[in-house]
Amino acid sequence: MESRLTRIVHASDPTLTKYAMTTLQPFAQSGFLDYLERLADAPTSATEAQRLSAPLTTLLLSADGSGTPTRAAHELIALLRARKAVLQATFDTALVADELRRYQKFSKPGQPSPHIVGLRQKQAAARQASNVAKQSFVRGASAFVREAGIDVPQRVAIEVFIEHWIDANVPKDFAPTA
């Protein structure tokens, strides 16, 4: 797992800042997402495109053979970014909830301590980030399904379908050539 340094600004006094290490949730399709982002910046070579499966090649690259990405490729980039954000937000929410549970267990009855109030605020912020990430994922899923021409079965939620589609069709541990 990777870590990142996060800047936290105090709500009452913006001059008071502190930094905290936050753990990044691993994302299985991160290599493929990097490849797609590079593909969006510059067309790919024919040898690089051959590493993709045939259905992904027809879905992501234009039919003229120039290696330029299709509109579906751009929507897939947004969808994968949204899925990565959902995974990270879910992880962050669970982490804050565990921390809050650990400290609340031994707190005295009555007015909560400032530390617990801060943890509750962190939990609310994590939940809000999780909700925003989920909404973004659903929006990205519907846009990708529309652009790619994928038929979603009836009585299946689009986010459940697209998660299974990503797991089945998007390569994990994709290492593009430099």
Q: What's the pLDDT at 107?
A: 84
Q: What's the pLDDT at 46?
A: 53
Q: What's the pLDDT at 124?
A: 93
Q: Is residue 69 part of a domain?
A: yes
CB 116 within 8 A of CB 97: no
Q: What is the DSSP string of 131-175?
A: HHHHHHHHHHHHHHHHHHTPPPPTTS-HHHHHHHHHHHHSPSS--
Q: What's the pLDDT at 177?
A: 62
Q: Is residue 33 part of a domain?
A: yes
Q: Is residue 42 part of a domain?
A: yes
CB 72 within 8 A of CB 56: no
CB 172 within 8 A of CB 28: yes
CA atoms within 13 A on the CB side of 121: 10
Domain count, the chain: 1
Q: Is residue 177 part of a domain?
A: no
Q: What's the pLDDT at 62?
A: 74
CB 25 within 8 A of CB 87: yes
Q: Which domain holds residue 96?
A: 28-169
Q: What's the pLDDT at 70?
A: 84
Give CA–CA dist 134/114, Å, rounded.
30
Q: Is residue 12 part of a domain?
A: no
Q: Which residues of the chain have pLDDT under 50?
A: 5, 19, 21
Rounded to two decimals, what is the model's pTM? 0.78
Q: What's the pLDDT at 145?
A: 95
Task: Tell me the per-residue pLDDT of 137-146, one tens digit each, with 9 for 90 and over.
Answer: 999 999 999 9
